[in-house]
Amino acid sequence: MTQGLDHHRAAVVGGAGAIGSEICRAFAAAGATVAVLDVDESAARRLAFSLPGDGHSGVIIDVTDPGSAERGAEACGEVDSVVYCAGIAFTANVADTDWAAYRRLIAVNLDGAFYTSSAFTRRMIAERRRGSFVFLTSTAGLRGEAGASAYCASKFGLIGLMESLAAELTPAGIRANAVAPGNVDSPLLQSVALAQAEREGGTAEEMLERYAHAGAAQRLVTIQEVASAVLWLASPLSVGITGDVLRVDQGQMVG
């Protein structure tokens, strides 16, 4: 557990989701005050109320709307770190792309990251606050995958945004990094497994078994492992790291 965040305020965008909620709990357990931002306002408020410590808040945000991103950042007040973990997925070969689904995915996974980064960045610079951004990308943002072109493109783009943001903000004392999980044992992966099984044949259980054996560790990544990596990158323990991607993939990229 990372300690020493007693005076740290974190804003977690997509904070009411499966991975986001675990990130919020990790911040709170380390002593930070957490703003849970999510399109589901009631879920964000319930999570904020359940976190240990005082001062946590639930804030509504629609990351596909730049105006909502501005209002969300304003509602958070001063923050030390921003985590972007809003994300959705769908599977399809390029030739069979559903353009409405494609547009929705890019709007959430990439456009929203731009909108929220812009909104929080301007406030942090104006307040002359040192801090950090952490983006939840994916190993799918490091290499292409059949049937996942839109998702891969959004995650590749997220890394490009992060690196550019690091170049712009590091001179002002604001770091930007990304965490790239592999196959995480989560509802999102379960939905991907079901869609892939429907497209290729077989069952979702068989697909999940395949995912679990994709890495050297021969198991899925846990949500807690992802949250720990995010917390470390957001904390002063990683103060010398910016513009980098931390893989949490159980050896998926090395075999």
Q: Domain locations in the chain? A: 9-182+223-246
> Under a CB-based contact definition with an 8 Å cutoff, are residues 41 and 206 in contact?
no
Catalytic residue, from 84, 102, 115, 151: name it. 151
Hey, what are 142's tokens? 């490091």
Q: Is 213 left (phi over 0), alpha (psi -120 to 50) or beta?
A: alpha
Instruction: Note if 102 is an active site residue.
Output: no
The parts of the chain modelled with pLDDT lower than 50 are 1-2
Contact 26/50 with Cβ under 8 angstroms?
A: no
Instruction: Report the alpha-carbon distance of residue 82 to residue 251 in Å, rounded.
Output: 27
What number of other Cβ atoms are within 10 A of residue 152's Cβ? 19
CATH fold label, 9-182+223-246: Rossmann fold (3.40.50)
Contact 43, 20 (CB under 8 A): no
Edge to edge, the sheet with strand 9-13 lists 57-60, 33-38, 9-13, 81-84, 131-136, 174-181, 245-248
Positive or negative CA dihedral for 206, 139, 114, 72?
positive
